[in-house]
Chains A and B, each alone.
Chain A
């Protein structure tokens, strides 16, 4: 048998190439990745450091509460509701995944269970059976039901670990969708869902406006955050983390591992179901596709972006994901600002020293004008398209990007080349990487103007995928998560 040469280990300062032997190197590399905070941000950091978690929560809640009063429009309010919902769901997922380390890929089914539970109990759907409860009665029933369901779905976690649990829960989620779509269409409504759900009412109030639901969700979110904060520092919270890090060690320290895992499932389920009831009441209707895998991915995106394991992270991640996706990326103009803004910010943050940054920017600009001039001289129709976005950015890049008269085919080719170029960029080291940067940025701008901006809906979906990939590869712990090291056996 021939002996293969072990691969040469990559230079330590480079981006993560994966340790070759042992996991400790990964730990070491992680601390390498930490950036130095620039001087201009340090006072802000010190100031922020002096304010504790609770005051910060209070301030954030007050600011959020003031938003509708400051005149959020109908759309902003809807985005706010969506964002609060996702934040709430990410928070619940954080208990199961972030704290207890149980990979639950059927989490969205609990959300659906809450919504369907409320829809069945508090609408005319079961009227023939004489069941039409007021919201203050059906809410607790749904919560208890969700807790029991969470326990049931969590049961396999006593035996299954890691991926196996992920598989079972994934199929639980799929089975939930199949169930609501196909079983008992007379009761569950099948594809037509359940419509005409009661508004949430309590203490004589009846929530009928979106403003009302915004405040209800805000209150619920803050209350959940507070409760989880307390729980986090309690015995249970510590037990969850112990089980996450090492179930065997936790068991030998007399932590009842199975029970602790089940509790995590039940907690996550109850929070998701709570969000589900509010969702059902606010939308006045529920339908199976509202609880599909795409939404699950969105919840995960929020949690991952914010950082699994952190309450603030989960909430911020959920908010950022929805505000970006629903608030900005639906409109091509605003998507353009996000796109160019992210490039600029990424360059500012990642590229050091300033000389290099300046060089790359100058090279990109020069490359663009040169390429545009040369292409235009060769064939006028190759630059006849002009940028497809609107606003000042379009006029700024008009003589810079190359957009052919029929941009679709060229844009498609450009997209494929761009993906290849980006892969090459990630693989390249040192000067090669710097040298590849200007063409990559320029090509990205061209593809954006030629193709992506004309298909904002598809671009939006592509960006979700890109964010997940980039986030996981550059910063697996998320924006605010704590670094975790799992010892692979």
Chain B
């Protein structure tokens, strides 16, 4: 009994200490009003099964903030919120962010399910949130008024890709493999009707994202199957799938969606990849940024750049509020975000938001990978 009491007392003491600390810490750090100080919340799966995705997003958000701080002379900081791609954790993180008056806007969350879970909370707090990877079409029907995204939704990409496949590749039958995540199943749902309407025989398969043994699935690709559609987010998985195809002498061509756009990682000769923007590593304007990112965090894929763009939009919005002589708040930052009109962006296309938060005139580019692994733009219709 004595042991228990002392342990309980110790635990309580530690918690109390933390509690006192937190209240003390909060009051001491109110910065000077004149310099442009703000905090942006970041929501993403920093740990857990898709840490691949979340860490890259976090790194690019940090990179954007540090670059924009230098350029705009602002003092913006990032508060991390780890969601592990779990809506329940996203809810908790969102409550944390909305309760913290220093946080003016949020980058993220990564998944469409998470947006569904936190949309109402954000709306109540009047806080803008910009996702770089939540692409479900139904998110921008107006039900989440403070939600915005810098990538086009599944209903743009899915049918466009499906039409290209039907009209240009003329498959008799194809295999489409989802990876059991919302991004993937959403695109499959958007593409399948178009394919079926064109009379293509569709074999729908499904492999969890954390599995990378595709040999038995590849064996199932029949001789008449000329296209394998992979709406995936892990480029290394698609690369492995392509190698298994080659090793088993299959002739099918891989068609990847924007989650696979990853020069250097996904390099299977003859594959198609659609993307929300041109190859940023090849754009002269973005070369410095790509190099900084590579130097700081190693190789990167397709998740970082949109989050960079989203963070940049928020950074600029905060800076513009400061420039107008106002103290940044959630409402004026959100208003400034809505007014965003960037003629060009890291994504290679202008960023301008529609009334429900969708990117206006969001386009998808289509690339074909050549034998050297380079991405070559092809006309997408």
Complex contact flag A–B (Cβ < 8 Å): yes
Name which of A219-227, A282-290, A370-378, A420-428 contacts chain B: A282-290
B91 close to chain A: CB less than 8 A:
yes
Name which of B11-19, B307-315, B322-330 contacts chain A: B11-19
Chain A, 341-381, CB within 8 A of any chain B CB: 341-342, 344-346, 348-349
A457 touches B18 (CB 8 A): no
Given contacts A289-B84, A458-B46, contact A330 B96 (CB under 8 A): yes
B81 touches A193 (CB 8 A): no
Given contacts A75-B100, A78-B92, contact A287 B113 (CB under 8 A): yes
B112 touches A37 (CB 8 A): no
Chain B, 284-332, CB within 8 A of any chain A CB: none
Alpha-carbon separation in the docked complex, A113 to B89 (Å): 19
The 10 tightest CB contacts between A and B, nearest first, are: A457-B82, A337-B21, A75-B99, A78-B95, A37-B2, A341-B17, A457-B46, A337-B18, A75-B95, A191-B182
B68 close to chain A: CB less than 8 A:
no
Interface string of A394-420 (1 = CB under 8 A from B): 000000000000000000000000000
Alpha-carbon separation in the docked complex, A285 to B91 (Å): 11
Smallest beta-carbon distance A240→chain B, Å: 22
B354 close to chain A: CB less than 8 A:
no
A45 close to chain B: CB less than 8 A:
yes
> What is the interface of chain A mostly: helix, strand, loop, or mixed?
helix
Q: 12 A–B contact pairs at CB < 8 A?
A: A37-B2, A76-B99, A191-B180, A193-B116, A284-B120, A287-B86, A289-B86, A292-B86, A294-B84, A337-B18, A341-B18, A479-B11
Alpha-carbon separation in the docked complex, A82 to B82 (Å): 16
Smallest beta-carbon distance A301→chain B, Å: 13
A187 close to chain B: CB less than 8 A:
no
A35 close to chain B: CB less than 8 A:
yes
B194 close to chain A: CB less than 8 A:
no
Which of B3, B79, B117 interacts with A35 by CB under 8 Å? B3
B7 close to chain A: CB less than 8 A:
yes
Given contacts A192-B112, A192-B113, contact A337 B82 (CB under 8 A): no
Alpha-carbon separation in the docked complex, A455 to B80 (Å): 9
Interface string of B181-198 (1 = CB under 8 A from A): 110111000000000000
B87 close to chain A: CB less than 8 A:
yes
A144 close to chain B: CB less than 8 A:
no
4 extra interface residue pairs, beta carbon distance < 8 Å, beyond A191-B182, A337-B21, A338-B14: A285-B116, A331-B96, A392-B25, A455-B46
A320 touches B28 (CB 8 A): no
> What is the interface of chain B mostly: helix, strand, loop, or mixed?
helix
Residues of A within 8 A of B224 (CB): none
Given contacts A457-B47, A457-B80, contact A337 B22 (CB under 8 A): yes
A182 touches B7 (CB 8 A): no
B28 touches A392 (CB 8 A): yes
Residues of A within 8 A of B95 (CB): 74-75, 77-79
Number of B residues with CB within 8 Å of any CB on chain A: 58
Name which of A56-64, A91-99, A251-259, A321-329 contacts chain B: A321-329
Smallest beta-carbon distance B185→chain A, Å: 5
Which residues of A pack against B, CB within 8 Å?
A: 33-38, 41, 45, 48, 73-79, 82, 181-182, 185, 190-193, 195, 279, 283-285, 287, 289-290, 292, 294, 307, 316, 320, 323-324, 326, 328, 330-331, 333-334, 336-338, 341-342, 344-346, 348-349, 390-392, 455-458, 460-461, 475, 479-480
B28 touches A283 (CB 8 A): no
Given contacts A37-B6, A193-B113, A341-B13, contact A334 B82 (CB under 8 A): no
Smallest beta-carbon distance A381→chain B, Å: 18
B15 touches A323 (CB 8 A): yes
A337 touches B17 (CB 8 A): yes
B5 touches A45 (CB 8 A): yes
Task: Write the chain B residue with the least CB distance to A459.
Answer: B47
Alpha-carbon separation in the docked complex, A290 to B5 (Å): 34
Which residues of B pack against A, CB within 8 Å?
A: 1-11, 13-15, 17-18, 20-22, 24-25, 28-29, 46-49, 79-82, 84-88, 91-93, 95-96, 98-100, 112-113, 116-117, 120, 136, 180-182, 184-186, 206, 208
B182 touches A192 (CB 8 A): yes
Residue among A77, A82, A190, A294 having the largest count of chain B Cβ atoms under 10 Å: A190
Residues of B within 8 A of A82 (CB): 88, 92
Residues of A within 8 A of B13 (CB): 341, 345
B29 touches A390 (CB 8 A): yes
Smallest beta-carbon distance A398→chain B, Å: 16
A191 touches B17 (CB 8 A): no
Smallest beta-carbon distance A149→chain B, Å: 22
B21 touches A333 (CB 8 A): yes
Alpha-carbon separation in the docked complex, A326 to B185 (Å): 30
Residues of B within 8 A of A323 (CB): 15
Which of B3, B24, B185 interacts with A34 by CB under 8 Å? B3
Task: Write the chain B residue with the least CB distance to A307.
Answer: B4
B22 touches A328 (CB 8 A): yes
B88 touches A456 (CB 8 A): no
Given contacts A285-B116, A457-B82, contact A290 B88 (CB under 8 A): yes
B5 touches A330 (CB 8 A): no
Residues of A within 8 A of B20 (CB): 337
A73 touches B21 (CB 8 A): no
